[in-house]
Amino acid sequence: MWSADQWKDYEVLDTSDGEKLERWGEYLLIRPDPQVIWSLPKKNKGWKKCNGHYHRSSRGGGEWEFFDLPEQWTISYRNLKFNLKPFSFKHTGLFPEQAVNWDWCSQRIREAGRPVKVLNLFAYTGGATLAALEAGANVTHVDASKGMVKWAKENAEISELADRPVRWLVDDCKKFVEREIRRGNKYDAVIMDPPSYGRGPKGEIWKIEESVYPFIKLCTQVLSEDPLFFLVNSYTTGLAPAVLTYMLSSALSGKDLKVESSEIGLPVSSSGLILPCGATGRAYWGR
């Protein structure tokens, strides 16, 4: 498993009974996690002294209960900074496990020894965008949510990356890629984190099991003649790392192509376990 174990401002302190106790900077949150199907003694005092607790409802969804938690606060990862705030369905605006992918992308970009153009699709609040910008890439950031793109721009500003070469686009990812193909625009790297389920602007249904492979194939048409990497992340239960390997191996080609996939996760301080948090497939060319 690829573990995001370089955090200082974030930590999974403990896990038990379907929940995880996390430290986000100086604040403690308890959130549900479907992977935590074990029950262990809750010895950490944070279970009783948290700043926020997301309670899942038996009817679906849930709601936050707050204890002295600000509306917004900031944490850092290396040179990157992120604004956090609890919002719908237990989220905070950041998926810390993705740091393992940010580091990998940054290293590939820095070692390329040439200008690199990155296309980040379903780009959310910009973690991968910021990492690529900080590494020296030119980034096109695309997400269908205006609020998420605004949030990503704020993260770039507080990370002092707002002046880097980046395009912030509120758009349907599939339609944007189709237009880029017609325009003849090319990218050296593609990053995508597609949802399990969604609807397009005209009611189009996105089901990742049916849609992701055709979309990967579509995106191969915007790769440059000398591509650097293609990364696909998934939080869909049942979409095993091996499936990501097979999809990327089948869709991509070229000299020295290498494909690897794995679960990604976060270390748990109390137990030494690695909490699974999804899967990532990485294709890259060269060393």
Domain assignments of the chain as residue spans, ordered by start = 2-84, 96-285
pLDDT at 58: 79
Q: Are strands 257-267 and 138-143 parallel, antiparallel or unpaired?
A: unpaired
Contacts of residue 91, Cβ cutoff 8 Å, sequence gap at least 6: none
* 277 vs 260: CA distance, rounded Å: 17
Q: Let me know: does 42 contact 15? Beta carbons within 8 Å.
A: no
Tokens (6 digits) for 263: 């679960």
The residue type of 162 is A
pLDDT tens, N- to C-terminus, the chain (287 residues): 999 999 999 999 999 999 999 999 999 999 999 999 999 999 999 999 999 999 998 787 899 999 999 999 999 999 999 999 998 789 999 999 999 999 999 999 999 999 999 999 999 999 999 999 999 999 999 999 999 999 999 999 999 999 999 999 999 999 999 999 999 999 999 999 998 887 766 677 777 888 899 999 999 999 999 999 999 999 998 789 999 999 999 999 888 999 999 999 999 999 999 999 999 999 999 86
> Which two structure tokens, joined as six digits, stand for 69?
């938690």
CATH value of 96-285 in 3.40.50.920, 3.40.50.300, 3.90.1720.10, 3.40.50.150: 3.40.50.150
Exposure b/e, 192-223, CB count within 10 A at least 16 = b: bbbbeebeeeeeeebebeebbbebbebbeebb
Q: What is the pTM of this model?
A: 0.95
Topology annotation, domain 2-84: Immunoglobulin-like (2.60.40)
- With the C-alpha atoms ordered 118, 194, 240, 255, is the resulting torsion angle positive or negative? negative
pLDDT on residue 82: 98
What is the C-alpha to C-alpha distance for residues 88 and 96, in angstroms, rounded to an integer?
Answer: 17
Beta bridge partners of 121: 142, 192
Provide the CA 264 distance to its chain's centre, in angstroms: 11
Backbone angles phi, psi at 78, to 5 degrees: 55, -120
Lookup: tokens for 86: 């609890």
Same fold, 2-84 and 96-285: no
